[in-house]
Structure 1
Amino acid sequence: MEYQVRQEILDLHRFFQDWFNGVLPKNAASVQRLDRALNPQFRIVSPHGILTEKPRLMEGIEQAHGVHAGKGFRIWIDNVTCRQLSPDLMLATYEEWQESEGTKRGRVSSALFQKQVTAPNQVTWLHVHETWLPQSP
């Protein structure tokens, strides 16, 4: 399961990068990748402390298509660690870094995954909690 979780973290953030850059077409087929990856009960706590459930998150992401187009926006992931909690649950922590127009910002995330054979990489995101990292020099 660890391989699937690590791959899902990379693949979903690649989706975000391509979506926000407007590389992916703005259509149901593109958004379906995200919908299938997020568990129906998915929740995220942003670095600002705001709790968002899946329906509202999906709506916001759909509206943000191409928001960073032409700004050199990129996302990369560092320092992934995984802990198996049960045969079907894994907790991962990782750093997510974003750069746009020369400004770099990072956050550390804890994400809970559940095994789901029909999902991308055979896991779904159940819960994410993000915290800002100190800004880089």
Structure 2
Amino acid sequence: GKDLSMVAPDGQILDREAVIDHVRASRASCDDGFAISIEDIRPGWQDADTIVVLYVEAQLRAGKHSRRQSSAVFTTSSSAPNGVEWRHLHETWLQVPER
């Protein structure tokens, strides 16, 4: 959504434009050795229109593994794909990418 914000694993706070730029740059820098898996998905706080979802994101990039604990806030939106809009994302390193 237009109000999307993100706290990156390094503590940076990104607005929607910065998140989109970050994703595009990451995608452009990836070769075929890139994979993401989502694990340990758990619902958190919720009400009629909002839910917090907790999960672990595991990445494999150029043979290096990393893991981050994530929480995301979604709200219902009739105009959004799949009927939900991503409002906030917070990621914390569990395993920093290997050097």
Question: Percent of aligned pairs with the same residue?
Answer: 29
Residue 67 of structure 1: aligned partner: 29
- CA spacing shift, 1:135–1:55, aligned 2, 3 Å: closer
Residue 124 of structure 1: aligned partner: 85
- Consecutive aligned runs of 4 or more in structure 1 exceeding 2 Å deviation: 59-66
Q: Which runs of 5+ in 2 are unaligned?
A: none
Residue 69 of structure 2: aligned partner: 108
RMSD: 1.8
Could you tell me the TM-score, scaled by structure 1's length? Answer: 0.64
Q: Which runs of 5+ in 1 are unaligned?
A: 1-38
**How many residues are matched?**
97
Residue 30 of structure 1: aligned partner: none
Could you tell me the TM-score, scaled by structure 2's length? Answer: 0.86
Structure-2 separation of matches of 1:102 and 1:60: 20
Give the aligned residue type for 2:9: P
Structure-2 separation of matches of 1:65 and 1:88: 31
Residue 20 of structure 1: aligned partner: none
For 2:20, what is the secondary structure of its paired residue?
Answer: helix
- Report which of the two has the higher share of helix: 1
